[in-house]
Amino acid sequence: MLPLPLVPSPADVEVTGDASFPLADAGVTGDPDAAAALRAMLAARTGLDLPDGDGIVLASAEGGPAESYRLEVSATGIRITGADAAGLFYGVQTVGQLVRRDGERWVIPAVRIEDSPRFVYRGVMLDVARHFHDVATVRAYIDRAASLKLNVLHLHLSDDQGWRLELRSRPALTEKGSAAAVDGAPGGFYTQDDYRAIVDYAASRHMTVIPEFDMPGHTHAVGLAYPELAEAPVTDVITEGSTPVAGEPYTGIAVGFSSLRVHDEATYDFVRDVFSELAELTPGPWLHLGGDESLGTAPEDFAYFVARASAVIADLGKTPMAWHEAGAVASLAPGTVGQYWGFVTPTDAAPQHARAFAERGGRVVLSPADAIYLDMKPTADSALGLTWANGVTSLERAYAWEPSTVVEDLAEDAILGVEAPLWTETVATLADIDALAFPRIAAAAEIAWSPGLGPERTWESFRSRVGGLGPLWTTLGIHFPALEEVPWTT
């Protein structure tokens, strides 16, 4: 018998041997938000529109770990009990994965599941700067991520190619800095109402939005709007992609060439304006200042800038977040969260920089580029994606790593969680997102939620369980590639 198609793998599962529960005559009672999510999931999967009534009970019970749930399925009914609203929602997602055909009936097998997450932070990142993605696309990605019990959406809102969020204190950022994208694709930006709609929609799926304005590097678009704040491009650091020209939109994929003017006080007026307005728009606790690939900025200038920018965010009552390079800054604001994007087997000083965040009272999010950068090619013949992070990155490689062993001497309680970034140099549509994110996003979700690698969590089990999700993903409209690594259920 194939394992149940559950991803991420629950903490504890028992198949009871009782008869399956038939959905055709079932009703739903209990928490209205969870009931709406369950009805939508089952309607998409089966076409059934379940009424109010007996059969499926959705309840809350205090006392369990945050985001945990208990699922009990017998021949006579289903009961999902959540420790909180998020736990109930995740129990609903598990029910959606269990639905199967039995002849002409839709049924759910009899199981008992006790489940809770390993890490509190389970994220995905979507780069909307290299290619802009509209609100509908972001909402669709939220749905996809939340269905796998991911709970953070990190939005990369600015880069050399464009600035993507309207700020009333600095209107020129979108008036002059939002029109470009990679390879001349259309640019764009979110109005403040658009951004609020994304934040609210994410919250309805129990996801927290983390906005990122990347600086002091990756700021060529800032220079289009406010040239007095930007240094001239440093072109001798470019190893691939076209050469930027000061004052002209950039549509290439080179990195590291841009910088803000670190010793000009007007720059810090800008930083305060930007993050003050962003803090007002963002209910979540984190604001991301970027801080990666500042190759055109001298190390001492980088340190001066990051110290001041992180202090601005902290003074706003938010927790600063930065890529791991910022860990080299001795005067980084205490409590700043670091995001590690080095390799699973590190090749440079990235682990040392990551540990520095914990030493200063912060924690670390793990995003090893050669494992869960979703923009890496999944196969050599993939039309989308890049290969710089030891690519090609297969599904097996995306799965076969353990967070506690990546950064040596980093305690487990110093790991805030796991995030799978999707940079969009080659990604212009929702179909492109699906083609690169799936099924590897499922590996990231399992690593973030489930207990560590061991007898109950193996590659062979995972590939079989992912294969069993093919019918569900198809009915949800996800355009996933049928990788040969996976024995797909048809």
The mean pLDDT values, 10 residues at a time, for the chain of 490 residues are 85 94 96 97 96 96 94 97 98 98 96 98 99 98 98 99 98 98 98 98 98 98 98 94 96 97 98 98 98 96 98 98 98 98 95 97 98 98 97 97 96 97 98 98 98 85 97 97 95
- Per-residue pLDDT at 375: 98
Q: Tell me what pLDDT residue 176 has.
A: 98
Whether residue 450 contacts residue 9, with contact meaning beta carbons closer than 8 Å, is answered with: yes
**Taking the domains of the chain in order of start, what are their residue ranges?**
12-115, 121-454
> Do the bridges between strand 158-159 and strand 162-163 make them parallel or antiparallel, or are there none, so unpaired?
antiparallel
Q: How far apart are the first and last CA of the chain?
A: 16
pLDDT at 62: 85
> pLDDT at position 356, please?
98
Asked if 459 and 485 count as a contact pair (C-beta separation under 8 A), the reply is no
Question: What are the pLDDT digits (tens) for 145-187?
Answer: 999 999 999 999 999 999 999 999 999 999 999 999 999 999 9
CATH number listed for the domain at residues 121-454? 3.20.20.80
62 by DSSP, 3-state: which?
coil
**pTM strictly above 0.75:** yes
Q: Which amino acid is at 471?
A: P
Give the pLDDT confidence score for residue 1 in this predicted structure: 42
In the sheet that holds 21-22, the strands lie side by side as 21-22, 105-108, 100-102
Q: What topology does CATH give the domain 12-115? A: Chitobiase; domain 2 (3.30.379)
Contacts of residue 466, defined as CB under 8 A and 6 or more positions apart, other chains included, come to: 5, 7, 395, 439, 442, 486
292 CB-contact burial (10 Å; exposed 0-12 / middle 13-18 / buried 19+):
middle
Exposed/middle/buried for 14, CB within 10 Å: 0-12, 13-18, 19+? exposed
How far is residue 168's CA from residue 350's CA, in Å, rounded to a whole number?
Answer: 37
Query: Bridge partners of 58?
Result: 30, 80
Catalytic residues: 293
Per-residue model confidence as pLDDT tens digits over 422-443: 999 999 999 999 999 999 999 9
Distance of CA 280 to the CA centre of its chain: 22
